[in-house]
Structure 1
Amino acid sequence: MVETFSDKYYFVGPSVSDKVYKINLKTRKQIYISLGTVNNKNISFYKNCINAFENCDIYVVMSVGKDTDIKILGNISNNFCIKNSLNQIEVLQNSDVFITHCGMNSVNESLYYGVPMVLFPQQSEQRMVAQRVFDLGAGSMLKKNNIEYIKKITLEVMNNDKYKENAISLSKTFHRAGGAKKASDAILNIIDTNKC
């Protein structure tokens, strides 16, 4: 994290819900897959993920967007939970790796909870976010949408402790930054200082 001091700016980190959900006692690792809420109709990607992890000893939670008909994804093995939408904060708190489109909110939430990522950006600004996560060692880039590559990169991130360690390190900086409480304190301080 870069420390920047200024009397014009306050850096308080991301605004992420810190609600703690029940942590499931898992007997196997969990992958969370989501392409966000806007450009999420990538049926071939979802099918490749299903084929990559079907019948694996890994639980896979997938959010496919409200406009995706889950039936068109074909046969789904019983180690999958596929929904049109999910409570992402709750799912992340139980996940070991997040396959993400790299939207800023999703990345901030993933890092806040120390979850390393497989980075699959869909747009130019998401590519910038993905590159930063990659540079900080909290995720690996998914450069191809094919079954073998999805599985290879995801298992690399899941099984290489350096990704988790880097995600947890970034999580600590997010928590120290102060979030919404620090932002409201800064605003109230400015109001008090500028009273006539």
Structure 2
Amino acid sequence: MSRSRSRRRAHIAMVGIPAVSHVLPGLAVIRELVARGHRVSYANDPAVAGLIAPTGAEFVECVSVLPVADNNWPEDPVAVMDLFLDNAVRALPQLRAAYRDDPADLYLYDIGGYAARALAETQDRPLLQLSPTFVAWDGYDQEVAAPLRRLPGADAHRARFARWLADCGASTTDPDAFPGRPSRALALITRAMQPHADRVDTDTVTFVGPCFEAAADTAGHVTADGVWEGTAGGGAGWTRPADAENVLLISLGSAFTRRPEFYRQCLAAYGDLPGWHVVLQIGRYTDPRELGAVPANVEIHSWVPQRAILEQADAFVTHAGMGGCGEGLLAGVPMIAVPQAAEQFLNADRLVELGVARRVDTAEATAETLRTALNDLVTDGEVARRSALLSARARAEGGTPRAADLIEDLLD
């Protein structure tokens, strides 16, 4: 643990959204700030209260309208943007009630926590975004945002966003800049995963790499009604079987896990593969009975301590969510990327560009394709060299101690 460099003990507030993939990346930072003696409050939906509690932060209830419990997101990008705006409209009065008489000295917020920025600007308090994924770059507006603004319904969305910003008294009134252009941000990802990293404004954004605790992991699961059960930091680890020559972890994360046919193809590809022990995480949407007979070298779980396994693994089949990519790179494990949604396709291509992965789309994920991809990865000496190099670079970015140091710098 890094020693606190700030003599001032402050009230630091974190505002998040209840998506597990957005909560997990910053938990070690929150725990570190508490350990340094700061009073930390964390506003989020009750669904993730059990995940936040072990950090020592004070939980502040802020009910969300985002459809994370059933993962029922619309396919229309504008409809998704409307949901995040709806969530901000619902969240801001709750945050004002919680922090009106007890304002924070510094507000931290997730990329989806728009209401936190509005609150901090109206209270004239310092503000820092914690981004669990890649950030905007010079040219992002023209290359990514502009096409979205031409979609049906986008003009109405932007007009409603602008009215909300004016009504709530935020000092940033541009509905395009407000969600995507923070005044200051820490990217909790390795710089290697950032698209066009050379075009990112480093006066605004600092890459600190994946933020974890040195000897801890997260263990738990999401229940049928979307509530997290388990621990964060210091959770159960995983023991590599004594007879396992090689270990393969297969995980599609926490959301897009209703993929029984894909899991069956994995069992056909890697079941009884000589020398390999397989850990298969299937999430909460798939019944293990749908997978048929389970080979002796495979263990199946709804949730696993992913970091603990990756530190002992030899390969990783991943959906290429940013969290999984960061964990895989940090562990120096070659990956088979099977993207499922959103930015995962970009992430998968980036892993291939980095020379540490093969991309296999779900429709092409047959037993033969998956087995060939694994063999190609683990027999390629250049993949091993690149994996080790990128692991060293990710660790050198500073992680949790550096993130906490930079946050404390804003209190000086």
The reply to whether TM is greater than 0.5 is yes
Query: Does residue 128 in structure 1 map to residue 337 in structure 2?
Result: no
Are 2:293 and 1:97 equivalent residues in the alignment? no
Report the aligned-residue RMSD.
2.0
Map of 2:392 onto structure 1: 172
1:46 aligns with 2:263: yes
In the TM superposition, 1:6-155 aligns within 5 A as: 6-19=202-215, 24=240, 27-57=244-274, 58-143=276-361, 144-155=364-375
- Cα distance, 1:150 vs. partner? 0.8
Which residue pairs with 2:54 in the alignment?
A: none
Equivalent-residue separation in structure 1 for 2:284 and 2:308 (angstroms): 18
Deviation at 1:161, TM superposition (A): 2.3
Letter in 1 for 2:267: I
Quickly say closer, same or farther: Cα 1:6–1:37, change in 2 above 3 A: closer
Q: CA–CA distance in 2 between the matches of 1:5 and 1:41?
A: 38
TM-score normalised according to structure 1 size: 0.90
Supply the distance in 1 between the matched residues of 2:244 and 2:252 (Cα, whole angstroms): 26
Separation in structure 2 between the aligned mates of residue 9 and residue 173 of structure 1, nearest angstrom:
18
Stretches of structure 2 that go unaligned for 5 or more consecutive residues are 1-191, 217-236
Q: Report what 1:184 is aligned to.
A: 404
- Distance in 2 between the 1:5 and 1:84 partners? 40
> SS of 1:140's equivalent?
strand
Conservation of the 8 A alpha-carbon contact between 2:322 and 2:347: yes
Secondary structure of the corresponding residue to residue 207 of structure 2: coil
Contact 2:263 2:291 in 1 (8 A): yes
- Mapped to 2, the partners of 1:11 and 1:181 lie a distance apart of 13
Q: CA separation in 2, counterparts of 1:5 and 1:44?
A: 43
Q: Retained in 2: the 8 A contact 1:100–1:121?
A: yes
Which structure has the higher relative contact order (CA within 8 Å, separation 6+)?
A: 1
TM-score by length of 2: 0.44
Please give the per-residue CA displacement for 1:62-118, whole angstroms capped at 9, x wherever unaligned.
Answer: 000023111110011101111111110111111100000000001101111111100
Question: What is the identity, as a one-letter code, of the residue corresponding to 1:167?
Answer: S
Identity across matched positions, percent:
28
Q: Considering only CA atoms, is the larger Rg found in Structure 1 or Structure 2?
A: 2
Distance 1:171 1:96, change over 3 A: same
Letter in 2 for 1:13: G
Residue type matched to 1:47 in 2?
R
